[in-house]
Amino acid sequence: MTQLADVSFEGTMLTPGQDGYDDARRLWNAQHDRRPAVIAQVRSAEDVAAAVRYGVENGLEIAVRGGAHSVAGASSVDDGLMIDLSRLNAVTVDVEGRRARVGGGALLGDMDAATQPHGLAVPAGMVSHTGVGGLTLGGGMGWLTRKHGLSIDNLESVQIVTADGSILRAAEDENPDLFWAVRGGGGNFGVVTEFEFRLYEAGPMIHYGLLFWTLEQGTEVLRLARDLFPTLSPDVNVLIAALNAPPAPFVPEALHFAPGYGLVVVGLSSAEEHAEVVDRIRTALPPAFEFGTPMPFAALQQSLDEANDWGHYTYEKGTYLPELSDEAIAAITAQVPLKQSPLSAALFYRLDHAYSAVDDDATAFGGRRTDQFAVFMVGQAPVPELFEAEQRWARSFWDALQPYSAGIGSYVNGMTDAGEDRIKASYGAKYERLQQIKAKYDPDNVFHRNQNIRPA
């Protein structure tokens, strides 16, 4: 067997029983307890290239771990090689040029920590312990999406290690086919060791509001949210969440853990604009409770961290909804009360403005660039005994929404156990082009622990 030590390798190699092995193999979703034969904790692109060659030469199945948040557990593998990018997490900021170079294993929090001192941000997701790698390669949506688009819409270039161990740069002017494919095609085309993003002004302070209603008011809340979006400037974003009220000091005790609907209103511009939107919502439908405060953008990015902590049993289904029609709302309000675990939730991210301004074919993103909602149905339980029911709930919720999804597939980062059909449905006409590019850069499908695109 080739030894990794035979090639130049700066990182650490862990095998079962060694100190650090159990920590390194742990994934965010407690459902997956995988035991790789080898974990290569890489420190450079050259390390990644050596690890890929080592895996291929020794016939080991390869998994690539960024932030370990794949709900499907794609970032580890039993008896194979896990390439652990978590130490490849440096972020450097060019303030003048408005660019950030971000290591392939960085977390969203690493990115915010480096960019926010300059009042800048990369448009990304809503939970700071998520990996930049997996999130970006699938698309990347969050608080700034209405204003600045997906993470991939703000990508300038990547450094990527392909299946033969080559270290390439991909950008509009270099390997443009590969650059197109990594903007939405997931980890199918290689291991990204560095992302170069455009930066925007964000924060350092934003305006935050949470308004909550009980289950009985679901129909009114969802209709209100539907009618609100067309009136909102891209400086305000609203997340619709079917969730349980937290046991927080601002929540009346009788409502601690009560299931219901929340609207999280985030104002990126003036206090007045934010207050005007919150006031309109409150007047139209007085909430059971509300909470509002200015907060640092970096704190907003961490505000959902605890609710999405490591170590729960999680199953997720995702779909797109072109609109919140009365029929879709009726389906949603019939499903939400059926969840049993207070950890389970359904989230509706609004996609419009900058998101919809990008041409459908400009990137490989699995989803149409029309105004819509990306819906995440997250079944979650603290212990395995309660998990089965939450999985069933997420599946039945997804089934109930399919008549309203216009057959436009799902966000590839929100699927747990999608087969080839669902993946094809998400990419639509782009799937064949992705297969051609896959055949060029990874003909043997070395990188298949992802939403897999089969080589042509």
Ligand X SMILES: Cc1cc2nc3c(=O)[nH]c(=O)nc-3n(C[C@H](O)[C@H](O)[C@H](O)COP(=O)(O)OP(=O)(O)OC[C@H]3O[C@@H](n4cnc5c(N)ncnc54)[C@H](O)[C@@H]3O)c2cc1C
Q: Kindly state the tokens that stand for 92.
A: 């450097």
Region 386-445 residues binding ligand X, contact defined as CB under 6 A? 413
Are 331 and 396 within 8 A, CB to CB?
no
Whole-angstrom CA distances from 182 to 152, 255, 427 are 8, 44, 13
> What minimum distance in Å lies between the beta carbon of 189 and ligand X?
8
Considering the complex, state which of residue 50 and residue 141 has its C-beta at the smaller distance from ligand X: 141
Considering the complex, state which of residue 36 and residue 66 has its C-beta at the smaller distance from ligand X: 66
At how many degrees (to 10) do helices 326-335 and 387-401 cross? 170
Q: How many helices (H) and strands (E) does the chain have?
A: 13, 18
Q: Kindly state the tokens that stand for 237.
A: 């974003």
Sort strands 99-103 and 200-201 into parallel, antiparallel or unpaired: unpaired
Nearest Cα residue to 39 out of 58, 64, 56, 5: 64
Q: Residue from 102, 141, 224, 232 that binds ligand X (CB under 6 A)?
A: 141
Considering the complex, state which of residue 36 and residue 131 has its C-beta at the smaller distance from ligand X: 131
Considering the complex, state which of residue 333 and residue 442 has its C-beta at the smaller distance from ligand X: 442
Q: Residue from 25, 32, 65, 317 that binds ligand X (CB under 6 A)?
A: 65
Considering the complex, state which of residue 329 and residue 374 has its C-beta at the smaller distance from ligand X: 374
> What minimum distance in Å lies between the beta carbon of 341 and ligand X?
15
Region 80-99 residues binding ligand X, contact defined as CB under 6 A? 85
Whole-angstrom CA distances from 1 to 41, 50, 246, 254 are 19, 14, 53, 63
> What minimum distance in Å lies between the beta carbon of 330 and ligand X?
27
Q: Return the SS3 of 40.
A: strand
Q: Per CB under 6 A, does 62 bind ligand X?
A: no
CA–CA separation, 429 vs 434, rounded Å?
10
Q: Per CB under 6 A, does 125 bind ligand X?
A: yes
Q: Per CB under 6 A, does 260 bind ligand X?
A: no
Whole-angstrom CA distances from 213 to 207, 229, 240, 243, 289 are 20, 19, 11, 10, 7
Q: Residue from 102, 163, 191, 281 that binds ligand X (CB under 6 A)?
A: 191
Q: What is the separation, in whole angstroms, between the first and last Cα of the chain? A: 31
Q: Per CB under 6 A, does 11 bind ligand X?
A: no
CA–CA separation, 266 vs 211, rounded Å?
12
Residue 340, Cα to own-chain centre: how many angstroms?
Answer: 24
Each residue 306-345 as x (binds ligand X by CB under 6 A) or -, in order, gives --x-------------------------------------
Are 183 and 364 within 8 A, CB to CB?
yes
Return the range that interacts with ligand X (CB under 6 A); candidates 184-192, 226-234, 243-251, 255-263: 184-192
Q: Per CB under 6 A, does 30 bind ligand X?
A: no
Q: Per CB under 6 A, does 208 bind ligand X?
A: no
Return the range that interacts with ligand X (CB under 6 A); candidates 121-129, 232-240, 335-343, 398-406: 121-129
Q: Per CB under 6 A, does 71 bind ligand X?
A: yes
CA–CA separation, 363 vs 170, rounded Å?
13
Nearest Cα residue to 38 out of 52, 21, 26: 21
Considering the complex, state which of residue 123 and residue 203 has its C-beta at the smaller distance from ligand X: 123
CA–CA separation, 69 vs 91, rounded Å?
20
Nearest Cα residue to 125 out of 261, 264, 244, 302: 302
User: Rounded to the nearest 5°, which phi and psi values hold at 79?
Assistant: 65, 10
Considering the complex, state which of residue 74 and residue 329 has its C-beta at the smaller distance from ligand X: 74
Q: Residue from 68, 163, 202, 346 that binds ligand X (CB under 6 A)?
A: 68
Q: Residue from 24, 40, 64, 263 that binds ligand X (CB under 6 A)?
A: 64
Q: Per CB under 6 A, does 55 bind ligand X?
A: no
Return the range that interacts with ligand X (CB under 6 A); candidates 61-69, 162-170, 253-261, 437-445: 61-69
> What minimum distance in Å lies between the beta carbon of 75 and ligand X?
3
Return the range that interacts with ligand X (CB under 6 A); candidates 63-71, 168-176, 214-222, 396-404: 63-71
CA–CA separation, 158 vs 192, rounded Å?
6
Q: Per CB under 6 A, does 192 bind ligand X?
A: yes
Q: Per CB under 6 A, does 251 bind ligand X?
A: no
Q: Per CB under 6 A, does 450 bind ligand X?
A: yes
Are 85 and 66 within 8 A, CB to CB?
yes
Residue type, 381: A
Q: Per CB under 6 A, does 264 bind ligand X?
A: no
Within 13 Å, how many C-alpha atoms sit on residue 323's CB side? 7
> What minimum distance in Å lies between the beta carbon of 103 and ligand X?
8
Q: Per CB under 6 A, does 126 bind ligand X?
A: yes
Considering the complex, state which of residue 142 and residue 267 has its C-beta at the smaller distance from ligand X: 142
Nearest Cα residue to 139 out of 364, 350, 318: 364
Interface positions with ligand X (CB under 6 A):
28, 64-71, 74-75, 85, 104, 125-127, 130-131, 133-135, 137-142, 186-187, 191-192, 308, 413, 449-450
